[in-house]
Amino acid sequence: MATQSTGIADVEQAAPRHQRRWPALLALAFGAVAIGLTEFVPAGLLPQIAANTLGTEYARDQSGAVAQAGWMITAYALGVVVGAPLIAALTARMPRRRLVLALLLLFVVGTVASALAPNFGLVLAARFMAGLPHGAYFGAAGLLAASLMGPGKAARGFAVVLSGLTAANVVGVPAVTWLGQTAGWRIAYLLIAGVFALALLAVAATVPEAPASGGSPAAELRSLLSPQVWLTAATAAIGFAGFFAVNSYVAPVTTEVTGLSAGAVPWVLAAMGLGMTVGNALGGWLADRDLRRATLYGFLAMIASAALFGVAAGTPAGLFSGAFLIGATSLFLGPALQARLIAVAPDAQLMGAAVNQSAMNIANSLGAALGGAVIAAGLGYRAPAWIGVALGAVGLCLAAISFARLTAFDTRGRPRSVGTPS
């Protein structure tokens, strides 16, 4: 008797696991490298972007024009928030490999349009378009990676994809930022479009076919009616904002609090990126063993790391160790939060994975805004670290409430129906 596939386990059985597994996983992670570049490079090129696209305003008021150019980052984040659930609903029945290829093609088009747009208004529109596939890519690529990793390794599959994002922050973002500063920001974005194109070719060549998870647009949308989905999304949006409160203001902490030169900033960011890489790998491993423990312990560790950063950032040793630890403990949570949203939406896995990316971009905006607010209030450049502690504590409480509201769990901390054997 035929049965309908409804979960990751079914996809795992359908997707072949053979000698091409790791090339396929690396291709999916390479797509995440390109996403990391397109998302994070603008922060280092805002003066160049402002001078090129807002010439009159830049000549009159440089700081004001740079602040206006920051809307490029906001436009991309809005695209992520809008596109993630929308694309998840519309593509529920599309095979995952085909969906990933379509999303990478949309990235290529949006990034090329960003580089070639003749005025700032069209640059914003192109950045919004480029952000649309972001969340759905991490959802679909994560599900494909989970199927390739095999049963019981879903979180590690998501961690492999997320590792591309951490690698981009360690190496790619500084390199492409330097290129943009020397050759122009448009050249940098054409290079990023080329990376997306290479990722598309790599996925086409190495990733095997795998069916959709058996969901439907209606099922994907119905998942948004679940209180657990919203509670888990709020956990990610608020709790993970603690990381962005610290991360957004590493540069002034390095120069104004620790007293190092501006040349030390990339090294501090590299230390944080290395921490992110380590934390992401460990988080994926533990989340597959006990999702509840990985989530709760992850928040406790992030809170402690933010507090350490706030206390110790006045010395170089404290700054670098604190940056490493805040990166490690925060990205330790990444695979757990991704797997958690899928667990609470078992019939809408793509929506669950995509909503997590929307929540992360809300976290980015929230953390940066609150960190900037306390600095503007005159509380100093260490103050965002204490905002990070507070936001992490709220995330911990929300996570605890979310788990407590479920009546039963399997042995890995995932929700199950009452009466289902663990």
Cα dihedral across residues 173, 148, 361, 235: positive or negative:
negative
Domains of the chain: 1-214 (1.20.1250.20), 216-410 (1.20.1250.20)
Percentage of the chain beyond pLDDT 90 is: 29
Q: What percentage of the chain's residues is helix, strand, coil (to nearest 5)? A: 80, 0, 20
Closest CA to 177 of 385, 37, 2: 37
Query: 261 in the Ramachandran plot: left (φ > 0), alpha (ψ -120 to 50) or beta?
Result: beta
Asked if 362 contacts 28 with a C-beta cutoff of 8 angstroms, the reply is: no
pLDDT at 217 over 80: no
Query: Residues 321, 325, 326, 332: what is their CA dihedral angle, to the nearest 10 degrees?
Result: 160
pLDDT at 414 over 70: no
Backbone phi, psi, residue 95, to 5°: -55, 140
Asked if 17 contacts 151 with a C-beta cutoff of 8 angstroms, the reply is: no
Higher per-residue confidence, 27 vs 15: 27
Asked if 335 contacts 286 with a C-beta cutoff of 8 angstroms, the reply is: no
Q: Tell me the per-residue pLDDT of 21-43, one tens digit each, with 9 for 90 and over.
A: 889 999 999 999 999 999 878 86
Q: Name the packing angle between helices 71-90 and 134-149 (round to 10°).
A: 50
Write down the pLDDT at residue 117: 94
CA distances from 240 to 19, 48, 237, 347, 387 (A): 36, 30, 6, 25, 11
Q: Tell me the per-residue pLDDT of 221-238, one tens digit each, with 9 for 90 and over.
A: 666 667 777 888 889 889
Closest CA to 99 of 8, 203, 174: 203
Asked if 383 contacts 376 with a C-beta cutoff of 8 angstroms, the reply is: no
Q: Tell me the per-residue pLDDT of 332-349, one tens digit each, with 9 for 90 and over.
A: 888 888 777 777 766 666
Asked if 114 contacts 125 with a C-beta cutoff of 8 angstroms, the reply is: no
Query: How high is the mean pLDDT of the chain?
Result: 81
pLDDT at 409 over 50: no
Write down the pLDDT at residue 419: 31
Q: Name the packing angle between helices 227-234 and 383-404 (round to 10°).
A: 160
Write down the pLDDT at residue 301: 94
Average pLDDT over residues 271-288: 84
Q: How far apart are CA 300 and CA 298, in angstroms?
A: 5
3-class DSSP assignment, residue 257: helix
Non-local CB neighbours of 283 within 8 Å, separated by 6+ positions: 155, 159, 294, 298, 331, 332, 333, 334, 335, 336
Question: At 127, is the pLDDT very low, low, confident or very high (cuts 50, 70, 90)?
Answer: very high
N- to C-terminal Cα separation, the chain: 25
pTM of the predicted structure, to 2 decimals: 0.72
Number of H helices and E strands in the chain, helices first, is 21, 0
* Of 101-105, 120-124, 398-402, 412-416, the least confident: 412-416
Non-local CB neighbours of 150 within 8 Å, separated by 6+ positions: 12, 17
CA distances from 32 to 26, 168, 169, 198, 365 (A): 10, 8, 11, 12, 20
